[in-house]
Structure 1
Amino acid sequence: MINKLFKFSVKYLPAITAIITILPLPVKAATFLVTERAVLGGTDLVNWGSLGKVFNPSAPDFSVFLPNSFSVTSQGGLGLDINIAPTNNPRVTPPFVFQTLPSPGIRSNFAPGDFILFGGIDPTGFIPLPPGTPDPGTQGNGEPLTISFAQPVLGAGTQIAIDTSKLKVETFLNAFDSNNNLLGSFSVPNISSLALDNSAVFLGIRSDTPNISRLVFSSSAPQFGLAINQVSILAVPESTYTLAILAFGVSGAVLKLRQRTWPNNY
């Protein structure tokens, strides 16, 4: 019986080896800056409107403010932990979500209707500005915004804006693996406005293996509020991990069986 099992295992060992070969293995990966959402090729999405707490400047309800750390689930069921570092400015509000819309709504250079996660702002920034009004340069919370994924991903990114058009601002993205190793560090110039023209820059990263566990967004002007819209995610299909476990389990069984039956071949 053992010999039959061994022969069966040896017969299918090439197929098992082929499966293992095509699966993502823990090797040193290459990472790439992505500045267009379409190029990222996302398969999953987080829309901040799904939190169910949206700030309306025309009828302020401060109960919709968010804690600096909270969790959210993507449309595909992936868990994300969000952390927005607090500011030292006591006048700045907690983080909140708003829908960017024409006046009397809050204008930005995201697309009209986008739900925006915002680090916080000095309360004077709640005053809706009519078309043509210059950016007042209201201060806010632009401290680092961290997104941690419950399961490593192949890529992720979002459009990002800093709440000032009076300064030349650089926005940064750092990506880390599950062991806190830096995978990549990128920066792009950021130009903000109130034009509602979807011109906010996209800042993302892709890897050739699913090892991205944490992203940190920040800017060179942390005294001004940092805002992002929906997060696109290039997730790893659950079936890939299931297949990997199965393949390695079967190959391990084959090796054990070979060790047991090896003496019978002499």
Structure 2
Amino acid sequence: MHPNESRSLARRRTLVMWMASSLALAACGAPELEEAASPQDAVVVQQSGALETEELVADRRIIVYLTGSQSLYSVQDGKATLVAKRSGAPSVSPDGREVVYAKLPDSWDVGDAVTRTELHVYNVKNGKDDQLTSGHDDQDPSWTPDGKRILFQSKKRSGLTSFWSVKGNGKDLDQVTNAGCTKANDPAFVPTPASSTGVQWAPNERRIIVYFTSQTSDSEVRVMSFNQNLGVASAYSLGKGTHPRWTERGTVIFTRKVNGRDVQVEVSVQ
């Protein structure tokens, strides 16, 4: 590959989500994936390390990726199919059969303000795409560990940016946080994640999420746990910090600025 082509390809923001059996692997900025110009164009996925084909169960494999122009593609047998011309980051269901994503208007372009998005669920096996919500700014969806509901965020629905949930068939819409709040400084107000950062679910199907609230020095790392109906059991702050992630031990590691230096903090979360 020519050096200029290599640099151009490296600049593309690509999201890859791969599921084999119950294992989900995600990688950002993967230079191996090139954007297809149309659904008919083939995309050859170069694999390496843990993503070698022989290590996967073929009938449980899902690959979806988001290009630098926010186009969402699904890949099967090395060929890409356009799912949406403009999309937010996708989330693969725990059973590996469906992908939920926030669809942007086709007229939207990179750099434009996002004022309207709707949730869609794409079935990778049969290619069916179902619209779940409309008329609002529903975004950053993620499946619950049992795959029964989808957690997402919206501001237009209540006037305050809050968590909402809906079933995978678009039914039983429910406001999860801030239902009784009228303003952001209400003591009961629960902040949502920083723009386009989403949430991370705890391992081992625990119904707990972590996220951070801002890209600035005022950011907090937040924890929220849920009951079986996705009602909030507890919501609290771990203090200042950014970029939390779960460990295999079930603890949370995040970055905190201390005396001008980045320090890694590890916390046990129940």
User: Which TM class, normalised by the smaller chain length?
Assistant: under 0.3
Which has the larger Rg?
Answer: 1
Structure richer in strand, relative to its length: 2
Question: Which structure has the higher relative contact order (CA within 8 Å, separation 6+)?
Answer: 1
Q: TM-score, normalised by structure 2?
A: 0.25
